[in-house]
Amino acid sequence: MLTVLELIGIAAFAASGAVAAVRARLDVFGVIVLALTTALGGGLIRDILLGVRPPSALVTWPYLAVAGGTGLIVFWFHPTVEKLRRSVLLLDAVGLGLFVTAGTSTALSLGAPPYAACLVGMTTGIGGGALRDVLLREIPLVLRREIYAVAALGGAMIVALGNWLKLPAGPVAILGSVLIVGVRVIALWRKWNAPIAKKLDG
């Protein structure tokens, strides 16, 4: 079940990257590259930071197949995917929750201190989207709109706290994922954004 949920998250992230690529008028190769980058970029960054070699995304073929296949589907059927935007956003929230808690748990299991594990977990969740926006020459969405990185960090902190208190890893990971998904869904529904600095005069 966990593997299935991870693949759903990968597909959701890949779809968001592919949709952004279609909107930017990239060709089919560019759409697939953006899908792969968005879906697997966070995991690659996590493994590089933790010294995991080779990165799991490069040796687990279903991850590559699902991400690349989703990119192709979006390329050919993007008008239909655009109509399912709310469903894609919900799946994206689920993927974020799973990736953040899995990344945090992985970091803790490899001996990272709690604060570092939280940062690694957050990066696992938001890294792919940030790379996507950089490739499209945009300010990363996680830095300028909606409650995204903050939700990811909150879920990672739940996992780290549960590990410190020696609580069962499974229920703690589920709680962290539910927190992330819940905050993301409410933020999208209520159009919440983190505070920004007031506009400078002149």
pLDDT in tens, 89-116: 787 888 899 899 989 999 999 999 999 9
Average the pLDDT over 153-178 and give the result. Answer: 94
Cα separation, 155 vs 149, in Å, equals 10
Contact between residue 97 and residue 148 where contact means Cβ atoms under 8 Å apart: no
pLDDT at 75 over 70: yes
pLDDT band at 134 (very low <50, low <70, confident <90, very high): very high
- Tell me what pLDDT residue 12 has: 84
Span 187-193, mean pLDDT?
A: 84
**Which DSSP state fits 142?**
G
Tens-digit pLDDT profile for residues 7-63? 887 888 898 899 889 989 999 999 999 999 999 999 999 999 999 889 988 888 999
Tokens representing residue 79 in the block:
């008008």
Q: Are 149 and 122 in contact (CB under 8 A)?
A: yes
pLDDT of residue 141: 78
Q: Is the per-residue pLDDT at 82 higher than 90?
A: no
C-alpha distance from residue 92 to each of 37, 100, 130, 180 (Å): 15, 12, 14, 11
Reference 193, options 157, 150, 153, 155; nearest CA is 150
pLDDT grade for 84, boundaries at 50, 70 and 90: confident
Alpha carbon separation from 110 to 35, 37, 40, 149 (Å, rounded): 29, 25, 20, 23
Neighbours of 90 (CB within 10 A): 16
pLDDT above 90: percentage of residues in the chain: 57
Pinpoint the alpha helices (H) of 24-113.
28-50, 56-59, 61-83, 85-109
For 108, other C-beta atoms within 10 Å of its C-beta total 23
Selected residue with higher pLDDT from 150 and 195: 150
Q: What is the mean pLDDT of residues 151-168?
A: 95
Higher pLDDT, 6 or 34: 34
Exposed e or buried b for every residue in 16-55, given b needs 16+ CB within 10 A? bbbbbbbeeebeeebbbbbbbbbbbbbbbbbbebbeeeeb
Question: For the chain, what's the residue count?
Answer: 202
Max CA pair span of the chain? 55
Percent of the chain predicted with pLDDT > 70: 96
Average pLDDT over residues 122-137: 93
- What pLDDT, on the 0 to 100 scale, is given for residue 2? 60
Reference 46, options 113, 138, 122; nearest CA is 122
Does 198 have pLDDT greater than 60? yes
